[in-house]
Structure 1
Amino acid sequence: MSLYAELGFVNIGPDELPSVISSGTKQRFIVDGYGPLAISGIPKYGRILFAHGAGAGHLSDFMRQFVATLAGHGLQVLAIDFPYMQQVYEQGKRRPPPPVKQTLAHFSAWYELLHPLGETPLWVGGKSMGGRIASMFASEAFTSGHANSQNGCPGVVVAGYPFHPPRQPQKLRVTHFSSISCPMLILQGERDPFGSVGEVAGCSLPATAQLMWLQDGDHDFKPRRASGLKHTILIDEAATHAAFFVRAHHTVAAG
């Protein structure tokens, strides 16, 4: 039996999603042709399609806590696993993610499927690689009129943006930032090897972007023991800030 089956994931077709996605209870599905989808929370202030990082899926401790906190503040979180991560969970063998374009295409397919299934805006976001993919989707949404929306993607939330590979600050991954016109929140640990305070200071961020630093946090927001800070508290702090960022823009949009 696969890990997903053990955790109660139910196989359904895409056409069955509309009847189950609005119940408000935590639900877990394997959607035919798409993959794992975990739904948490009620969309009181909005919805967010949230993707995992390169090395751990939506079942990681970080993702579970971050998602639970978002849901606790009135957001419906639609957490997905990319196909390669589904294979990792099912086969128990680590594997690298595919090329970025392939992952972006899969994320876009999820958005196209889920976007019409709710009345509140569907934001995008993710942890590390997932956040980078979400930001790339947002940039393309505004340049190509994606998701059949006049305004494109309503907003982006990134937990630990991978500004560059560790120890290679010259290889920045921000060229698409100039095409992002929607609200964007980047939650970043001060000691993140993928982009620390000193390294990110010189980066050009979108005019609509907000950057929040997590004190003494690493890429997973984990602080050093000597700091006296707690990892779980920093994750909650980040997710709470993210939830209120989305809620604030929902309030503005509502009028």
Structure 2
Amino acid sequence: MTSDVSEIIETDAGTARITWHRAKQARLVLTLGHGAGGGIEARDLQALATVLPAHGVTVALVEQPWRVAGKKVAPAPKTLDVGWRGIWPAVAKPGLPVVSGGRSAGARVACRTATELGAVAVLALSFPLHPPGKPEKSRAGELLGAGVPTLVVQGGNDPFGKPAEFPEGDFELAEVPYGDHGFAVPKRAEIGQEQALEIITGRVVEWTRTLG
């Protein structure tokens, strides 16, 4: 049972917006931020918001202030972190354990701030391990420094880091075969787009059962 309710939040980085997809009997809140090139309409974020409430997880989709303001380019990581800190009291208000998560740049924000904000876990969707074609510019330190149970869900063909490129570490890694950075799969793939999304939602449902 979900309700789609938007809440405006004033942060030190500007006005943010949370769209709530509430579980009827929630035991966790999963807070998800978007990437630097898109918003909460991303296919993986929408799939999780649709599926998880039936499994006792309230999903809060967060639009960063730059996105709410209609800007095309995301600000510096430091500013993204300020916006994320600003929405945290609202997602913690229900008094439930909060999982911090997001896709791409949003996953980096979740990793950088998890311990400080008291998140019980991190969900990193399409973690941008490095810029495309520049594996030497690794962001593994952010992922490895999350300090809480972490699940990475990564496309098999993600140019920002394929699953095999990830270092050993204290996190779980789930692969979406053939998926690119947005979890799109080519028509020639052995799985369809719906199956790709089912892999994501199924793995996250399974993982959230181990939390809280």
Deviations 1:124-154 (A, max 9, x none): 000111111101111xx2xxxx34xxxx320
Q: 2:168 matched to 1:187?
A: no
Q: What is the count of residue pairs matched by the alignment?
A: 208
Q: 2:21 matched to 1:40?
A: yes
C-alpha separation in 2, matches of 1:158 and 1:174 = 12
Structure 1: any 5+ residue segments left out of the alignment?
Answer: 1-22, 89-93, 251-255
Deviation at 1:159, TM superposition (A): 1.1
Look up the match of 1:28.
6
C-alpha separation in 2, matches of 1:78 and 1:171 = 31
User: Does the aligned pair in 2 maintain the 1:67–1:77 contact within 8 Å?
Assistant: yes
Q: State percent identity of aligned pairs.
A: 22
User: Do the aligned partners of residues 196 and 24 (structure 1) sit closer, same or farther apart at CA in structure 2, a change above 3 Å counting?
Assistant: closer
User: Does the aligned pair in 1 maintain the 2:159–2:181 contact within 8 Å?
Assistant: yes
**Secondary structure at the residue paired with 1:227?**
coil
User: Does the aligned pair in 2 maintain the 1:69–1:236 contact within 8 Å?
Assistant: no
1:96-245 aligned at under 5 Å gives the runs 96-115=73-92, 117-138=93-114, 141=115, 146-147=116-117, 152-200=118-166, 203-205=167-169, 207=170, 209-245=171-207
- Higher helix content, 1 or 2: 1
Deviations 1:188-233 (A, max 9, x none): 0111001013422xx242x2x1000111111122222112311122
User: Do the aligned partners of residues 193 and 40 (structure 1) sit closer, same or farther apart at CA in structure 2, a change above 3 Å counting?
Assistant: same
Deviating 4+ runs (over 4 angstroms): none
User: Do the aligned partners of residues 119 and 216 (structure 1) sit closer, same or farther apart at CA in structure 2, a change above 3 Å counting?
Assistant: same
Deviation at 1:27, TM superposition (A): 0.9
C-alpha separation in 2, matches of 1:178 and 1:237 = 24
**Secondary structure at the residue paired with 2:58?**
strand
TM value normalised by structure 2: 0.89
Deviation at 1:164, TM superposition (A): 0.4
Deviation at 1:30, TM superposition (A): 2.5
C-alpha separation in 1, matches of 2:207 and 2:196 = 16
User: Does the aligned pair in 2 maintain the 1:31–1:37 contact within 8 Å?
Assistant: yes
User: Do the aligned partners of residues 247 and 240 (structure 1) sit closer, same or farther apart at CA in structure 2, a change above 3 Å counting?
Assistant: same
C-alpha separation in 2, matches of 1:26 and 1:104 = 25
C-alpha separation in 2, matches of 1:73 and 1:47 = 11
Look up the match of 1:87.
69
TM value normalised by structure 1: 0.75
- Higher strand content, 1 or 2: 2
User: Does the aligned pair in 1 maintain the 2:126–2:154 contact within 8 Å?
Assistant: yes
Deviations 1:219-255 (A, max 9, x none): 12222211231112212221221122112122xxxxx
Deviations 1:15-36 (A, max 9, x none): xxxxxxxx96221233345421
Structure 2: any 5+ residue segments left out of the alignment?
Answer: none
C-alpha separation in 1, matches of 2:83 and 2:18 = 13
Look up the match of 1:253.
none
Opposite residue 25 of structure 1, the aligned amino acid is S
User: Does the aligned pair in 2 maintain the 1:48–1:76 contact within 8 Å?
Assistant: yes
Opposite residue 4 of structure 2, the aligned amino acid is K
Opposite residue 36 of structure 1, the aligned amino acid is R
